[in-house]
Amino acid sequence: MAPIGTIIGPTTNNTRNYKARVVAQFLGIDLATTPDFVMNVDNKKEEYLAKYPAGKVPVFEGVNGLHLIDSSAIAYYVASQAGSNSPLLGQTAEETAEILQYMFFTEADLMPAIAGTLYSIQGFMPYIKPAQQYSEEQCFRFLGVLDAILLNKTFLVGE
């Protein structure tokens, strides 16, 4: 099977890149990658910025000419390539809305809290105690939300 496109970005230590790759692997979809991509080098090059002015990583270039610059949009598109029976998109409008709800919750709430907790520990940003404490509180709060949902369910959506 030929790849449906290429996800451009670092293939290690990049959670945003992992999303689409995990979806592709789960569904048996071939997705090309760029293992030699160097973050903060390749995405700063003129030719990259000419195509993707925001310099965001990862990006997707489909064999059909589609270009996407958001990791969740890329993962969703990859999931859609399994057809209308994709187990990751939902079978009804309600299930799809629930799936999107959790994607957006993760992007907007959970990941920033996790990043705020870990980045200062990893040396990516300065340690500021009140900010660190706030991020930790938010992280535990949002993980608690997911824990409460999953106490009585096997999956976030569907059963």
Residue 42 makes CB contacts below 8 A (sequence gap 6+) with 48
Least trusted range by pLDDT, from 13-17, 29-33, 92-96, 102-106:
13-17
pTM value is: 0.84
State pLDDT tens for residues 91-137: 889 999 999 999 999 999 999 999 999 998 888 899 999 999 999 99
Cα 4 to Cα 1, 32, 73, 114: the distances in Å are 9, 8, 15, 31
Q: What is the mean pLDDT of the chain?
A: 92
**Do 17 and 71 form a contact (C-beta atoms < 8 A)?**
yes
Predicted confidence at residue 1, as pLDDT, reads: 77
The residue assigned the tokens 């369910």 is: 153
Predicted confidence at residue 47, as pLDDT, reads: 95
pLDDT at 44 over 80: yes
User: pLDDT above 90 covers what percent of the chain?
Assistant: 74
Predicted confidence at residue 20, as pLDDT, reads: 93
pLDDT confidence tier of residue 159, bands split at 50, 70 and 90: confident
